[in-house]
């Protein structure tokens, strides 16, 4: 059997020479993303801002997906459904219209009621009420703080273990990925709910992994080819790891593709965010973090000097699993 190879052997693509164009594009997209996030804002879901709660009683047991489809056709926002007590009762949560106060809320309830009665004869709304968000402001602040500090922690690790340039470039690249994801949600106005936070965390995690793999290869090659200039060295490293990059991102996209097609309505935003994040994260490994290393003046010679001085980098290197950790 012939095995699948997505990237032919000895591929040599000149990634680095495109970096100025890529920088321009990155900058433009980032500005766009940040601008959109501030200008349009995120379409925060019921989890965050609260909304309407409707309790619907059906004459017989009902499938939640049918209810969800009925409400999705009304354009009153993303609904969140929960079976409530018995299979005949469903609790529907809907976002509140931004303007219009109580009148608008009643209008939404009436619209939903009409559509539901048409679809499920005999359904009654036993009550409706407003509900607050599921998360308090404090919780959101803590979450944001935790993620920011996690990114900073990784940058500091990279800096202490190797050169400061790796710390800075990793930090910038991951922040870029997060901003792009937020921008995507602002521009599409897809609902940003509690689960999207998990998606953003996954994107950060994937992006870290990707950067570490390429950075590690760059460092390996810096030791191997001390006379090579930085641009060729990065091109070499990116090309050497390209089969792995393509393979891994393909694998993950394959898995996410299945979730996107078959995972149902609720997981769609979650999956879309992750797919975008994988693409952005892979892109930023090459064109944000690696390219930034050149701009920040990293070269095999500076690294060599540091190693000779026996700084933290050299110490850390000796502690790594490279020597002697084999069973």
Partner 1 sequence: MLNFSRWAVAGILLPLIIGIVCAVPSFLPDSTVAKLPPFMQTRVNLGLDLAGGSHLLLEASTQEMARQRLANMEEQVRTELRRGENKIAIGDISSRDGKLSFMVRNPSEVDGAVERIRPLTQGAGLTGQRDFNVEVVNSSTIVITPTQAGIDNAVKSTMQVATEVIRKRIDEMGTREPTIQQQGGNRIVVQVPGLQDPKALKDLLGQTAKLEFKLVDMSANPSEVAQGRAPVGSEVLPYPTNPAGPPMIAVHRQVMVSGEELTDAQQTYDQQTNEPNVTIRFNGAGGRKFGQVTSQNVNRPFAIILDGKVLSAPDIKEPILGGSATISGSFTVEGANQLAIALRSGKLPVNFIVVEERTVGPGLGADSIRAGLTASIVAVVAVAAFMFVSYGRFGMYANIAVAINVLVILGVMGILGATLTLPGIAGFVLTIGTAVDANVLIYERIREERRRGRNVVQSIEHGYKEASRTIFEANVTHAIAGGIMLALGSGPVKGFAIVLLIGIATSVFTAVTFTRVLVSGWVRRTRPTDIHI
What part of residues 261-320 is at the interface with partner 1 (CB under 8 A)? Answer: 261-267, 270, 274, 320
- Mapped onto helix, strand or coil, the DSSP state of residue 87 is strand
The interface region with partner 1, picked from 99-107, 258-266, 291-299, 303-311 by CB under 8 A, is 258-266
For partner 1, the closer of residues 119 and 195 by Cβ is 195
CA 81 to chain centre: 25
**CA 87 – CA 94 distance, rounded (Å):** 20
Minimum CB separation from partner 1 for residue 25, in Å?
27
Interactions with partner 1, residue window 60-79 (CB under 8 A): 63-65, 68
Q: How far is the CB of 18 from partner 1 (least distance, A)?
A: 24
User: What is the distance, to the nearest Å, from the Cα of residue 99 to the centroid of all Cα atoms in its chain?
Assistant: 31
- Check residue 157 for interaction with partner 1 (CB under 8 A): yes
Query: What is the total count of residues that contact partner 1 (CB under 8 A)?
Result: 90
Which residues make Cβ contacts (< 8 Å) with residue 34, sequence separation at least 6?
179, 183
Minimum CB separation from partner 1 for residue 284, in Å? 15
- Quote the CA–CA distance of 262 and 267 in Å, as a whole number: 9
Q: φ and ψ at 36, to 5 degrees?
A: -65, -40
Give the pair of three-digit tokens for residue 108: 């939404």
Contact 294, 218 (CB under 8 A): no
142 binds partner 1 (CB under 8 A): yes
CB 108 within 8 A of CB 22: no
220 counts as binding partner 1 under rule CB under 8 A: yes
Three-state secondary-structure class, residue 98? coil
- 9/98 with CB nearer partner 1: 9
**The one segment of 16-24, 102-110, 244-252, 289-297 that binds partner 1 by CB under 8 A:** 244-252
Q: How far is the CB of 326 from partner 1 (least distance, A)?
A: 5
Q: Is 202 in the site for partner 1 (CB under 8 A)?
A: yes
Establish if 97 lies at the interface with partner 1 (CB under 8 A).
no
Q: Does 176 bind partner 1 (CB under 8 A)?
A: no
Subset of 8-27 contacting partner 1 (CB under 8 A): 9-10
Element (H, E) at 32: helix 19-39
Query: Is 194 one of the binding residues for partner 1 (CB under 8 A)?
Result: yes
- For 169, half-sphere exposure in the C-beta direction (CA atoms, 13 angstrom radius) is 25
């Amino acid at each position: 059997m012939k095995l699948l190879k997505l990237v032919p052997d000895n591929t040599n693509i000149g990634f680095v020479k495109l970096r100025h164009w890529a920088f321009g594009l990155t900058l433009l997209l980032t500005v766009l993303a940040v601008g959109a996030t501030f200008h349009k804002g995120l379409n925060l879901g019921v989890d965050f801002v609260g909304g309407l709660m409707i309790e619907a009683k059906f004459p017989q047991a009902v499938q939640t997906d049918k209810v969800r489809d009925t409400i999705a056709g009304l354009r009153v926002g993303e609904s969140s459904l929960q079976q409530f007590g018995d299979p005949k009762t469903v609790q529907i949560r809907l976002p509140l219209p931004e303007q219009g106060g109580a009148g608008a809320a009643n209008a939404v309830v009436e619209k939903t009621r009409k559509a539901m009665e048409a679809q499920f004869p005999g359904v009654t709304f036993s009550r409706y009420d407003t509900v607050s968000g599921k998360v308090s402001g404090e919780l959101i602040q803590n979450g944001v703080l935790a993620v920011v500090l996690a990114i900073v922690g990784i940058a500091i690790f990279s800096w202490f273990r190797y050169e400061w340039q790796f710390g800075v470039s990793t930090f910038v690249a991951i922040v870029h990925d997060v901003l792009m994801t937020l921008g995507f949600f602002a521009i599409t106005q897809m609902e940003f709910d509690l689960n999207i936070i998990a998606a953003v965390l996954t994107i950060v995690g994937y992006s870290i992994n990707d950067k570490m793999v390429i950075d590690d290869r760059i460092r390996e090659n810096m030791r191997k080819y001390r006379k090579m200039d930085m641009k060729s060295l990065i091109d070499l490293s990116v090309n050497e790891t390209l089969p792995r990059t393509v393979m891994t991102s393909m694998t993950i996209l394959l898995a996410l593709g299945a979730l996107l097609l078959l995972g149902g309505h609720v997981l769609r935003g979650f999956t879309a965010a992750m797919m975008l994040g994988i693409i952005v994260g892979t892109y930023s490994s090459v064109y944000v973090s690696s390219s930034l290393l050149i701009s920040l003046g990293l070269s095999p010679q500076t690294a060599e000097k540091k190693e000779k001085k026996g700084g933290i980098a050299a110490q850390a290197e000796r502690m790594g699993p490279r020597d002697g950790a084999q069973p």
